[in-house]
Amino acid sequence: MNRHIINEHATLLEALERLNALSGEVMTLLVTTDDGRMTGTLTDGDSRRALLAGVALDEPVTRAMHRDFKRLDASGIDVGALREMREKGIRLIPVLDADGRIARILDTRVTRTVLPLTAILMAGGKGERLRPLTLDTPKPLLKVGDKAIIDYNIEALSAVGITDISVTVNYLAPQLVEHFSHPVAGVDVKCVAEPSAMGTIGSASLIPHPEGGDTVVMNSDLLTTVSFEEMYMRHVAEKADITIAAIPYNVSVPYAILSTDGAQVTALEEKPTYAHYANAGIYIISNELLDSIPAQGRTDATDLIEKAIADGRRVVYFPIDGTWIDIGSPADYRHACELIRLKES
């Protein structure tokens, strides 16, 4: 039985004993009927208020429980509602089925949200710019701190409730298959082997996608704090077919730039800086579009994006506000290792 569930016939004293046993965890009990339907919640504060109001220790918990509790619907979790509950400090959230029974319990410090997405991580590259480090080790398995690069991304996806995760492999594939022979962050990650090099997104065609819905597709060698929740909410709000995570990229020109009208100079701008957004290698893509990727040959993400734009599909961007390191060179790798070292010290 879940430590947080208590029968409505239990006494207030039993509830206090159960709450005391939860010390260090979320101090909340979920009260259910004999047939499993949830009827209320009980916290340490609810118990104290009941005792002060004269409720006896041998009376049932129904005398003290809170009946107007927050819950989510198991048939379709409302990401916005879950976010609002989390921001209000509600840590333990019951997810109820159509009969009001507990289907699952969310601890928002462990699983911040539950995004209705699957995920594909591209891990087939040779990492040639990182040689000799990658001569015998695939780049996604290089250690940053005490973990492989790719595991940071698996953990980030798991933390937002994405547990259907596939990794496409090619170069030194057996090492990745062995690495994922055991769960990472509680997720059984599936490895899918490319028959040949298929570009930066072609191997997504090897993975069956749920009908409808969307998938996170990302490079596996990134170290990033991108908010998948914010990105997903932008994707939904914009009714996008593709949402591209983007990083600010500034270009400084070391010369004075002329503005002209024909032969006439109309203005002079001294050493201007131009701000752009660069592709961060993280996407949310509709499964319908992923299904259009050819099953043979090479397809890069840019090919899919350009075709979507040409076809009049809605392609939007999401700016990353936080860490983003593409570990493509020795300098990038050293930077990532130092960042994690400082974070963990």
Query: CA 181, CA 205: separation in Å to the nearest integer?
Result: 23
Q: Nearest to residue 318, comparing CAs of 209, 206, 219, 240? A: 240
**Per-residue model confidence as pLDDT tens digits over 318-339:** 999 888 988 888 888 888 888 8
- Give residue 264's pLDDT band: very low, low, confident or very high (50, 70, 90): confident
3-class DSSP assignment, residue 31: strand
pLDDT at 286: 96
**Confidence check: pLDDT of 344 > 80:** no
Query: CA 234, CA 154: separation in Å to the nearest integer?
Result: 22
Which uninterrupted H or E stretch holds 106? strand 102-107
Beta bridge partners of 243: 284, 316
- DSSP letter for each residue of 210-260: -SSSEEEEEETTEEE---HHHHHHHHHHTT-SEEEEEEEEEEE-SSEEEEE
Under 8 Å between Cβ of 160 and 153: no
Under 8 Å between Cβ of 162 and 118: yes
Name the region of 312 (left: φ>0; alpha: ψ -120 to 50; beta: rest): left
Query: CA 85, CA 79: separation in Å to the nearest integer?
Result: 10
Instruction: Show contacts of 92-96: CB within 8 Å, 24+ apart.
Output: 92/4, 92/26, 92/28, 92/30, 94/30, 94/38, 94/69, 95/71, 96/38, 96/71, 96/72
Q: How far is CA 120 from CA 153, 170, 344, in A?
A: 11, 14, 28
In the chain the domains, ranked by start, together with CATH numbers, are: 5-107 (3.10.580.10), 117-344 (3.90.550.10)
3-class DSSP assignment, residue 150: helix
* 3-state percent helix, strand, coil for the chain, nearest multiple of 5: 30, 30, 40
Q: Hey, what amino acid is at 317?
A: Y
Under 8 Å between Cβ of 43 and 56: no
Is the whole-model pTM more than 0.95?
no
Percentage, residues of the chain above pLDDT 70: 99
**Per-residue model confidence as pLDDT tens digits over 192-237:** 999 888 899 999 999 988 888 999 999 999 989 999 999 999 999 9
pLDDT at 238: 96
